[in-house]
Structure 1
């Protein structure tokens, strides 16, 4: 299918990540699905779009830009550990300053966890993941794919900040100030955070083991 599927997957990915969160659409969906239902449905839709675009990049015509080198894999292995730790520390925890937070009414800036280090830890994980995968996938389709993801994550934080500032009003700045005043030790110094770090390490190990089966190549080669 040449480049058609890849282009279609790119379009679908950005439409599914932009339309459902627009001000006229999101309240309409939340009123019908509920907050939890909307979060679950949006997450499943995002994962489906992500799976399609990654698969489409692999099926696109191979146009190499640079040769592969062993140190490319070493870089991926190094960067993917903080990616997995960030995911483990971020998922299903209160974070009213970004997207995907759970139980945001319980958010305490003095016990903010990873949010003390980054308002958008999921976007930071996405940026690191994408940047890590650019070098070992040195063909046009994958460079476009991962490079776009990295840019999307970097600039997406600014868009989320603008939307949250509008939604939260003066509370947004008060939360930012309280978060900045919290000690850095609040990011990790709880037993629950320790459990999440262990789960992140387990995820890292599982991804290394599953990578050859999911994507046809081992990061340990």
Structure 2
């Protein structure tokens, strides 16, 4: 669990700098320059991501079972993760009605993904990993929405074309990940009967 914890601190920590320490972030960009800051940020994020994956992989085998998720939780999780994939696709669209309504679709997708995994998995490793991501995404979303209001940020949505594209891309990515990549990378086949 220690390796998982280190990975989470690195990955979520570096992704929290803008929300929780914006002045420090600006001073680091001034000192290092924008390119060097992005390089340092990316390096820490990658190390954190890889450490989190490795730590979770090790922790899964020795994690304590806290509860046995009911069968229905898998079906709810599958639906929530489909919606999460759509929101992740929305995050990459230049305009979107969904982005206009909720703002910060990447964080909405992370919240849905984390919550879905929390309700459908019941070990201490799952609670640490997915609970950490959920807590981070909820806090970052609240801070980002407040910052948007203070700065008068709005999201334009001239038409629903990009929402349609996001839904198609999200559904395809969900299918590919669920059928092929999740079993290959995570070792769990979510659609196995």
Length-normalised TM-score, structure 2: 0.78
Distance in 1 separating the partners of 2:57 and 2:159: 38
Distance in 2 separating the partners of 1:74 and 1:211: 16
Unaligned runs of 5+ in 2: none
Cross-structure match for 2:168: 198
Among residues 122, 146, 156, which one is paired with 2:130 in the alignment?
Answer: 146
Distance 1:9 1:211, change over 3 A: same
Give the deviation of 1:9 after TM superposition: 1.8
Correspondence 1:29 to 2:29: yes
Spell out, residue by residue over 1:76-112, the C-alpha distance to the aligned partner (whole angstroms, 9 max, x if none).
211111111111111253xxxxxxxxxxxxxxxxx65
3-state SS in 2 of match to 1:217: coil
What aligned pairs does 1:157-172 form with structure 2 within 5 A after superposition?
A: 157-164=141-148, 168=151, 172=152
Spell out, residue by residue over 1:19-48, the C-alpha distance to the aligned partner (whole angstroms, 9 max, x if none).
4663233464377235xx83x874675355
Note if contact 1:81-1:201 (Cα within 8 Å) is conserved in structure 2: yes
Distance 1:92 1:29, change over 3 A: farther
Superposed CA RMSD: 3.0
Moved over 6 A (4+): none
Distance in 2 separating the partners of 1:161 and 1:4: 33
More helix by share: 2
Note if contact 2:87-2:166 (Cα within 8 Å) is conserved in structure 1: no
Cross-structure match for 1:74: 75
Cross-structure match for 1:122: 106
Cross-structure match for 1:212: 183
Q: When the two structures are aligned, how many residues end up with a matched partner? A: 186
Note if contact 1:116-1:187 (Cα within 8 Å) is conserved in structure 2: no
Distance in 2 separating the partners of 1:159 and 1:150: 14
Correspondence 1:6 to 2:4: yes
Spell out, residue by residue over 1:27-78, the C-alpha distance to the aligned partner (whole angstroms, 9 max, x if none).
64377235xx83x874675355234324312312310011244333222211
Distance in 1 separating the partners of 2:141 and 2:89: 19
Note if contact 1:188-1:194 (Cα within 8 Å) is conserved in structure 2: no
Note if contact 1:90-1:114 (Cα within 8 Å) is conserved in structure 2: no
Correspondence 1:156 to 2:126: no
